Amino acid sequence: MVVVIDSRADMAQERILMKKLKKYHIGILVLSVLGVILLLWAIIATVYNFTGNRHTEHVVIEPKSKSAKYKNAAAVAGSRFCAEIARNVIIQGGNAVDAAIAATFCNGVVIPFATGIGGGDFIVIYLKEEKKCVFLNSREAAPALATEKMYTHDKESAQFGYQSIGIPGELHGLWTAYKKYGSKVIPWSDLVMPAAQLAKGFPMHKAMVNYFDRISKYKGRPEIEGLRSLYTSKFTGEFYKIGEIVSNYPLAKLLRVSANSQDPVQLFYNGSIAEGIIKEMIANGGIITIDDLRNYETHVTETLYADLGKYRMCGPPPPSSWTITQAIPRIVEMQYRDKKMFNDAEFYHTLIEAQKLAYGQRGHLGDYLFSEVSMQLAKNLTDRKFIKFLSKRVMDKSQDLEYYLAAAPAVLDSGTSQISVVDDDGNAVSLTSSINTAFGSKMLSKYGFIYNNQMDDFSTPGFRNHWGFEPTEANFIQPGRRPMSSMSPTIVFDPKSGEVKMVTGGTGGSKIISAVAQTLVRGLLLGQSAAEIVEMPRVHNQLTPFETEVEEDFSEKILEQLEKEHNQKMEKTDETLAIVYPITRDGDEYTVAADYRRESGNSPAGY
């Protein structure tokens, strides 16, 4: 049998198959092209945040700050040493209060230009079981011999020397916090001794080196020699360089004695240390007396509260500026009730206007124990109706200075340090401490700590500030009064569950207010984590000067839009617009970030 193969039939079938494959390939090609188009659209939409042609902020490629995530507890301070000390205290069974105390003593050793026993603190404590916050005010107070016009003819004496020193409150505040809210598990000595050991030798860092010019400014004056000598190498005769080991043995001894004392407050305010302090005052023209030390008290009260979204913020009454700080994100929130928030020019315009309106209220504020009006204004600023009133004053374009001022601008303060801690029970502490300007009064005690110059934070009658504004009576010097401060330690929690959402605070004088406010805006309104918050460039407007400062990496395009479309006066600065210390709760873990702007080699700690 012969089999005949019909090749024509096979060829026909092959042509049909090729047509089908061609259609299939065309379909695949079309789908691929569509896929590429959709991918490009997604990238463009992400970059522009779905805002069409609106220019949004830059994307962070490589973070400058160190951040970490922890399940149980977290801490951040002015130095990695201090954050690790706080973490270790919690691991050993201590609570957030214990940890913050230990870290504060540590801060006083490694960043003494900003804080220490010679200064004072604002301490905000969140108690999870009670879902409430308490405030311990251990800020420096005016001595009994202080008078309203004591600096009228000698302004320098409010900034330099023994007459600039307010009654130190830090040790009193830390001991009070320990006795009232400490865990009772960790002995007092275990909280102080790590700092005492560190005082025997720690590496110099850039943050302190940056401020040595504040000492050099007074070169040749005998009063500064003690401080200059402490930070001068015996081998080179020059200020210590970064990485060289610095020792402060008198401070180490004082801390060791305080650690082993049954009552360190008695020792410092009424015992042998107090006697030594008064001898220094008498010998150098200071006005603090033994009665000033004996009569000093830490004021303890519940904080003020304000709601932002579904969360509750808590912070101190005046002399803290927290009521100004909390107003800024709430004004921004009001502006975005019916629209989505993006990092565009409109967002920054709204943020700048909110800052101006809030700062405009600050001139009325003063120590609430001396001013009922000040406390009433503080409460008004947390009221939703007042925030709504301020929000309605946000215009599409910047207005003249007088539009924002409710009172003459307040005195501007300076440097600080900060501790943020959350423990493994969900309690939290935000503690801001200060000796005011870098190296405070520049007066070094024989006990190794630097005295503050917080008297410069008061206003003086008849003494117009640099901008020509009259001083505010709410902040005039009175014996026992505590001067206004920008310090704004803040804790945010969910009022239903009691879980901490954020712990934050800042350092950097009057810029603390705007920096902490932006931390709250980004964390609570934009949903950013602590790691994202610290990377974003900041804006700052405190009314005087009227220009808005922005950090160098701020978007040129947005800056141009703010100037042209919103009439904002913008100025880039190479200075740091404050430093923040945020911890955020993200899902079931904490994100904590050490702001790169501190330049002290700081990093977070936790477990």
Total residues belonging to the chain: 607
H helices, E strands: number in the chain = 20, 21
- Helices 96-110 and 249-259 pack at an angle, to 10 degrees, of 160
How many C-beta atoms lie closer than 10 Å to residue 16's C-beta?
A: 10
Round to whole Å and give the CA distance between 357 and 488. Answer: 17
- 224 closest CA partner among 234, 235, 207, 212: 212
Round to whole Å and give the CA distance between 172 and 551. Answer: 37
The answer to whether the CB of 460 falls within 8 A of the CB of 123 is no
509 is in an annotated binding site: yes
Q: Which amino acid is at 343?
A: N
In which element (H, E) is residue 351 found? Answer: helix 345-359
434 is in an annotated binding site: yes
435 is in an annotated binding site: yes
Round to whole Å and give the CA distance between 468 and 560. Answer: 30
DSSP designation for 522: I
Look up residue 29 and give its two tokens.
Answer: 């090609």
- 223 closest CA partner among 297, 164, 168, 274: 164
600 is in an annotated binding site: no
The answer to whether the CB of 542 falls within 8 A of the CB of 508 is no
486 is in an annotated binding site: yes
How far, rounded to the nearest angstrom, does the alpha carbon of residue 469 sit from its chain's CA centroid? 27
Helices (H), 521-574: 530-533, 556-566
HSE-up (13 A, CA, CB side) for residue 21? 6
In which element (H, E) is residue 433 found? Answer: strand 428-434
561 torsion bin: left (phi>0), alpha (psi -120 to 50), beta (else): alpha
Q: The dihedral of CA 224, 228, 234, 236: what is its sign?
A: negative
The answer to whether the CB of 286 falls within 8 A of the CB of 457 is no
Round to whole Å and give the CA distance between 331 and 565. Answer: 21
DSSP reduced 3-state for 295: helix
Round to whole Å and give the CA distance between 384 and 268. Answer: 44
Catalytic annotation, pick one of 416, 437, 472, 544 = 416
**Strand pairing class (299-302; 132-138):** antiparallel
Round to whole Å and give the CA distance between 263 and 265. Answer: 5
Round to whole Å and give the CA distance between 122 and 492. Answer: 16
498 is in an annotated binding site: no
Round to whole Å and give the CA distance between 359 and 271. Answer: 42
Q: Which amino acid is at 43?
A: I
Look up residue 138 and give its two tokens.
Answer: 């251990």
436 is in an annotated binding site: yes
Residue 416 annotated as catalytic: yes
Residues in binding site: 139, 434-436, 457, 485-486, 509
- Residue numbers annotated as active site: 416
Residues in binding site for L-glutamate: 139, 434-436, 457, 485-486, 509
